Structure 1
Amino acid sequence: MMPGSIDETAAGLLAQGYVAQRELATAAFLALRLQRPLFLEGEPGTGKTEIAKSLSALLGKPLVRLQCYEGLDLAGAAYEWNYARQMLEIKADAGLKAEDLFAPRFLIPRALLRALQSPSVLLIDELDRADEPFEAFLLEVLSEYQITIPELGVIRAAEPPVVVITSNRTREIHDAVKRRCLYHWVDFPDAKRELEILRLRVPGAPEALAKQIVLFIQGLRKLDLYKLPGVAETIEWSRALLELNALELDPLTVQSTLGVLLKYQDDIAKVQGSEAARLLAQLRSELG
């Protein structure tokens, strides 16, 4: 059901397990009401992809995901013709005309076209991974909610999909794409919000351990690391610590589980030992 206010949007996302700041809830609400794509930029692991999943559950619409990658083109993103089937038809009926071969039954819809054919939430994930020329393919979809297929004509959505675009900002996205969207930067949460997320996503975590986890990770994000741990790593580390029956953080447990939080050996080496001990001492001081 479409939320009727910012508060309803925030509450609806929360019911789906997503703790949204008011600014993000406002951007999502406006994107829904104005039928504009929502462009989310930020560090990896800050929950950009998750909001699309939560909106899909909240609205009761299927999620159509386009995972971007280098070399992605129109055939991989929107549609392609089933040439094998066309060849079989030609062999079966030599009298077929060219226009008969480019009928809808020979069309293979990919994510962009599928999202236009039925009500859905379209997630264009990590657009910055795709090549810059691919962005030009998106402009018609983002502005008119339609795709022009030369052999068939224009296919327009009867009901515009809810579009969420994410970027980790490994490169700048062209202004032509951004102008068609509502923009929001998704940052790492503060300690209060991250603790709320942890309580929601890992309800079995003891309160004292959850607070220690959040403060430790908040401290990690102040270090000069190659890849800072995101909210996804916070949740995963909490689950790992529960599997180990940990009741509190200690140097041995932290050192043996850093690979859950950090994904580069240089980062692990930097945190191990004295740095981890300093962060543990700091969080104990803050917790009294």
Structure 2
Amino acid sequence: MVNLYSVKATSLNIRSSPKVEDSNKITSVPQNQVIVKLGIADDDAWWKILTIKDGQPLEGFVASRFLEPAPRLVQAIGWFKGQFGDKINATISGTPFSLDLLVAIAVQETYYIWGTLYNKLSIDEVLQLCTGDTLDAPRRSAFPENKAELLAYDKGDEMFAIARAALEAVANFVPSFKRVADSSPNKFCRGYGIFQLDLQFFKNNPNYFLQKKWYSFDECLAQCVNELKAAMRRAYGSSKMELTDEEKVYVAIAYNRGSVDFSKKFKQGFRDESGKYYGEYVWEYLQLAKSVP
């Protein structure tokens, strides 16, 4: 597990050696800067650290008394990058996507599940539980709108059994899903995997769902990157080779809702009870992920 901390002082000097001298100050970083503890120097008063400064990794020494454990979300992002970063970077090589974009999507889609379980369960167990979205019509218009529409489709009865079992499994750990599961025997999950592939794709890729391929991070990642590529084509055409941070968010919006309206800025995609939109969350999580080494 990565040792992640935040700067609690107004600012913190990073030095080239573990002592205070006029000549060894490298730079300073602001309050809430994310810091990785690499080790202890001569004593626990000084730590060797790694951080991100101007988009680049930076190592040095800091006085440990000015640090505190990073918030839970930052710790979870550090875990996610440590577990899956190499696989993601290998898969997105040659694309305009970034590790931080994939992190932001995973946080937005299923952090409320894996972010509370990654330090309690095995990775395989966590991945199996990453299911969600129980909305029925009229709040849902995509297939399947409800249990009846799923059952009417080929192998729909088999899929419903899996989808209902998925809901009951995650309900053991997430109270909001328990309330849904207890409220009706007709409720079931529509989103599958840590990046949430929607059940509407059951029509053209039934084996992903019937064979529970979302249990595999590699399968989830491949599906996500393929959908991001399709979303990027819908948003920008087929010749786009680079993406700014803003453009990455627009691709994520198209990934979430199927299309993007640039005139609405980031106020697009799923809107939660607080009134905040999917695109706004992805922007926030993208910037946070970029700060975690």
Q: Same fold by TM (over 0.5)?
A: no
Q: Which has the larger radius of gyration?
A: 1
Choose between structure 1 and 2: higher helix proportion: 1
TM-score with structure 2 length normalisation?
Answer: 0.25
TM-score with structure 1 length normalisation?
Answer: 0.25
